Chains A and B, each alone.
Chain A
Amino acid sequence: DAKTTQPPSMDCAEGRAANLPCNHSTISGNEYVYWYRQIHSQGPQYIIHGLKNNETNEMASLIITEDRKSSTLILPHATLRDTAVYYCIVRAGNTPLVFGKGTRLSVIA
């Protein structure tokens, strides 16, 4: 079973920041938080991951709470091409990626 809880769907206006929450209250000390997205029926695409510090790359920012029980993925300026299902996954080392149902983000013009 997935170890994370995400809202099933969210809307975001184009050009605005999209903030996608994820709860992972049972996360272990050696588990990372990963975010992937899947656009339509394409292969999932890696976005970002982190252990306990906040992370930023060219796609997004990841904010992890101090107790590590929840996190937020931030797409700073959402575009229509960011419409996708976003998956939050907790995982240690090379244990299998377990995908839950994710959040379906719709970016609206």
Chain B
Amino acid sequence: EAQVTQNPRYLITVTGKKLTVTCSQNMNHEYMSWYRQDPGLGLRQIYYSMNVEVTDKGDVPEGYKVSRKEKRNFPLILESPSPNQTSLYFCASSLSRGRGWGTEAFFGQGTRLTVV
């Protein structure tokens, strides 16, 4: 079954304690991205990756790191989490067919993170 898998689904942590949220896709997609969703602010892109070893900032990258060492995995790293990073996080992946092609994105089930 084609899917994007995030782990963990729920996480409560303390300020400053480094954490990693994993994301894995089984569709051989080149393009992967991370979003956060907050009430009243909607879904905002944090980082994205066009392919292995290629990453770029989205709209709200501050406080986050990513890496893309393998095509299937795109972990989100919070080096020193703060309470304002409490949010619902989604990973997404899609094929990359270049400009002019429409492609659908698949989203993971989400990770609800609380930083206290």
Contact = CB atoms under 8 A, between A and B. Distances in A.
A44 B90 contact: yes
B42 A94 contact: no
Given A43-B107, A46-B106, A99 B43 contact: yes
Interface residues of B, number: 33
Contacts of A41: 37, 88, 110, 112
B84 interface: no
Contacts, number: 65
B109 interface: yes
A: contact size bracket = 20 to 34
Interface in A25-52: 30, 32, 34, 36, 41-46, 49-51
Contacts of A44: 43, 90, 92, 105, 107
B88 A96 contact: no
Given A42-B110, A43-B108, A97 B45 contact: yes
Top 6 A-B residue pairs of the complex, sorted by shortest distance between their CB atoms: A43-B107, A93-B99, A99-B43, A46-B104, A32-B102, A49-B102
Given A34-B102, A43-B108, 14 more contacts: A41-B37, A41-B88, A41-B112, A46-B104, A46-B105, A46-B106, A50-B102, A51-B102, A92-B100, A93-B98, A94-B50, A94-B103, A96-B59, A98-B45
